[in-house]
A and B are shown apart, each in its own frame.
Chain A
Amino acid sequence: MRETLTNLVLLIALVAFPAWALAVDEPFLITLATRAVILALAAVGLNIALGWGGLVSLGHAAFFGIGGYAMGILASHAQGYTPLTEWPFVIEGTKSMPVIWLVAVAASALAALGIGVLSLRTAGVYFIMITLAFGQMLYYFAISWTAYGGEDGLSIYVRNGFPGLNTLVPVQFYGLCLAVLILVLALNAALIRSPFGLALNAARQSPERVRTVGLDPRRLQLAAFVLSGAITGLAGALFADLNRFVSPSMLSWQMSGEIMVLVILGGAARLFGPVAGAILFVVLEHVLGGISDYWHVFLGALLLLIVLFARGGIVGLIAGRRGGP
């Protein structure tokens, strides 16, 4: 199937490109590729809720930012040698990525549960507006939280560590992020084919039908939303580590929009859609951004054209209509 071929090509590109960059000694390009991979991960998360769940979440930056701040808070306490809290028991900071990721995933999943429960009481436009509002709420909260930098954000001087790797070496960090992305993509692929995936996808197309066979579409969507938030949160932690910086801008509506653009550019409800979208976005950002400071105008025009005329995104254009899972 053409889609499988497209996916394979993208996968090969993700391995070949940094290998080439390593060969020609351009570490900046590896960093660029890392950025694409992490943004792809964030978009993979959103795609589960948006593409398959049919939930137009315009506030996914909330989870991206929670993941980022999980990293920022834990690492800043570690680098300052002060514990997070001493009551009821001492919680120290940490600079270990696995621990940070665990916390990031748990925190974003919890937030997604809370936001999901409230937002899924509504549907349609209300849902869109509410998710946007909750994202904004966390954004202003982060700005007001001066203990962790407030508007200025939080810098982490040294990248966090992963056992067995030297994360300061660009290609090693890239490899780590790529491994995470591939693992999540594999889980995503299994999910789509699973009974849960079948039910979720049906709930998007006909909630009435799903209810009639004895399933509750809202519970299915809530589960998808939580999973979606958790994955985007993990991406946020990685993103903060890439930049060694976390700030409220990770929670902004612009970020939410950007993550959604990644999904749509590549093709919603396509396994590698977010990957294609993220790669295209980073390429445009780098190339067009180099030409003009106002490259967002072109991004906007491109997005408009895609929405009006090429709804299936890149993967949709190349692979044609979706076949069965």
Chain B
Amino acid sequence: MPLALLAEQVLNGLQFGVMLFLMAAGLTLIFGVMGLINLAHGSLYMVGAFAAAAVAGATGSFLLALAAAMTAAALAGALVELLVIRRLYARDHLDQVLATFALILIFSEGTRWLFGSFPLYLDIPAALKGPVTLPGGIEYPRYRLALIGIGLAVALGLGLLITRTRLGIRIRAGENDREMIAALGVDISRLYTVVFALGAGLAGLAGALVGAIQSVQVGMGEPVLILAFVVIVIGGIGSIRGALVGAILVGLTDTLGGVFLPGFFRLFLDPASAASVGASVASMAIYILMAAVLIWRPTGLYGARA
């Protein structure tokens, strides 16, 4: 396998991974702090992508589009939190699943109603179009490299937020003992809305960034949501570090699995069978990884030990 191809695939895996991280980080924060499982996170991803597409179409500015994506998603998140999510904190997980699933239906069909069934297009900004030459003569799309950079920057930013700011302290305290911080006078309602909006904003950002390389359409968020769940299961609920490690593992497994598994099967199958078996196994690779982690650590790599 030529080095250039391998390097390109590894970078693709990384890029996939950091975008997953943006989703997973929000989800794991929301669960860690509020104890809430949120299926509507994929809808917020979609809202971000649609907002970006709409604003980019109107103004031609990608930067504005990104800002719009994060703002729209965060606002949508805050609204949803105030109107619906608030009533769910005391409920059991089944109720949270059902209510947020209901939100998916409302968001998805509502978006389809407003924008129609055809995908919207979001263009990669001119400044980031085209390849960049990396050491070793490897050519890689500039935009994807930028995504990796943005993702890692967000990871760093989140890490600093959690460890160095007052909000971060409250988040960490809330993850440990919800009742305690209420007793200590922290405004829980405000904290929850802020955390939910933060998670939503990250999802919206991811939606916008990925929307430029895939398409912007209804239902784009749910497959990513489910993958983010896989990431959280692997990484451990409530752990940002776990979300990052899990996301990169998932990204690399999916990308490299698709590349190497058909080749692996060619060792003992004919090329045609190897290609199809390889493709099928590759499609399951992430879940096999998840199952393997579960057998070894039921609460994830960085999750609370039972």
Direct contact of A and B (CB under 8 A): yes
Given contacts A133-B229, A307-B102, contact A128 B37 (CB under 8 A): yes
- A124 near B280 with CB under 8 A, answer no
Distance of B163 from chain A, by nearest CB (Å) = 25
Chain B residue nearest to A140 (CB atoms) is B283
Q: Would you list which residues of chain B between 213 and 234 have a CB under 8 Å from chain A?
A: 222-223, 226, 229-230, 232-233
Query: Is residue B284 within 8 Å, beta carbon to beta carbon, of the partner chain?
Result: yes
Alpha-carbon separation in the docked complex, A126 to B242 (Å): 14
Query: Is residue B248 within 8 Å, beta carbon to beta carbon, of the partner chain?
Result: no
A-B contact count (CB 8 A): 118
Given contacts A296-B108, A297-B105, contact A137 B299 (CB under 8 A): no
- B237 near A304 with CB under 8 A, answer no
Alpha-carbon separation in the docked complex, A294 to B113 (Å): 7
Query: Is residue A98 within 8 Å, beta carbon to beta carbon, of the partner chain?
Result: no
Since A144-B276, A304-B106 are in contact, a sample of 5 more A-B pairs with Cβ atoms closer than 8 Å, ordered by chain A residue number, is A126-B298, A128-B97, A261-B98, A303-B101, A304-B102
Distance of A206 from chain B, by nearest CB (Å) = 14
- A124 near B99 with CB under 8 A, answer no
Q: Would you list which residues of chain A between 135 and 175 have a CB under 8 Å from chain B?
A: 136-137, 140-141, 143-147
- B103 near A118 with CB under 8 A, answer no
Given contacts A294-B113, A307-B99, contact A129 B229 (CB under 8 A): yes
- Residues of A whose CB lies within 8 Å of any CB of B are 50, 56, 58, 118, 121-122, 124-126, 128-130, 132-134, 136-137, 140-141, 143-147, 253, 257, 260-261, 264, 268, 294-297, 299-301, 303-304, 307-308, 311
Alpha-carbon separation in the docked complex, A290 to B248 (Å): 45
Q: Which 5 A-B pairs have the closest CB atoms?
A: A300-B105, A137-B287, A129-B229, A300-B106, A303-B102
Contacts of A137 in B (CB 8 A): 283-284, 286-287
- Give the interface SS of chain B, mostly helix, strand, loop or mixed: helix
Alpha-carbon separation in the docked complex, A308 to B298 (Å): 32
- A141 near B284 with CB under 8 A, answer yes
Chain A residue nearest to B283 (CB atoms) is A140
Alpha-carbon separation in the docked complex, A301 to B109 (Å): 11
Query: Is residue B291 within 8 Å, beta carbon to beta carbon, of the partner chain?
Result: yes
Query: Is residue B60 within 8 Å, beta carbon to beta carbon, of the partner chain?
Result: no
Distance of A250 from chain B, by nearest CB (Å) = 16
- B287 near A144 with CB under 8 A, answer no
Contacts of A268 in B (CB 8 A): 94
Residue among A294, A299, A308 making CB contact with B99, cutoff 8 Å: A308
Query: Is residue B294 within 8 Å, beta carbon to beta carbon, of the partner chain?
Result: yes
Size of chain B's interface in residues, with CB distance under 8 A?
44
Contacts of A133 in B (CB 8 A): 226, 229-230, 233, 287, 290
- A122 near B298 with CB under 8 A, answer yes
Chain B residue nearest to A309 (CB atoms) is B87
Alpha-carbon separation in the docked complex, A297 to B44 (Å): 16
Alpha-carbon separation in the docked complex, A261 to B104 (Å): 13
- B110 near A122 with CB under 8 A, answer no
Query: Is residue B129 within 8 Å, beta carbon to beta carbon, of the partner chain?
Result: no
- A141 near B280 with CB under 8 A, answer yes
Alpha-carbon separation in the docked complex, A302 to B109 (Å): 14
Contacts of A303 in B (CB 8 A): 98-99, 101-102, 105
Distance of A27 from chain B, by nearest CB (Å) = 30
Chain B residue nearest to A147 (CB atoms) is B276
- B93 near A296 with CB under 8 A, answer no
Contacts of B75 in A (CB 8 A): none
- B31 near A125 with CB under 8 A, answer yes
Alpha-carbon separation in the docked complex, A134 to B294 (Å): 13
- B280 near A300 with CB under 8 A, answer no
Contacts of A141 in B (CB 8 A): 280, 283-284
- A300 near B299 with CB under 8 A, answer no
- A129 near B276 with CB under 8 A, answer no
Distance of B293 from chain A, by nearest CB (Å) = 11
- B283 near A304 with CB under 8 A, answer no
Listed A/B pairs (22) with beta-carbon separation below 8 Å: A121-B295, A125-B93, A126-B233, A126-B237, A129-B230, A130-B233, A133-B226, A133-B230, A133-B287, A136-B287, A137-B284, A141-B283, A144-B282, A147-B276, A253-B222, A253-B226, A261-B98, A295-B109, A301-B106, A303-B98, A303-B99, A304-B84
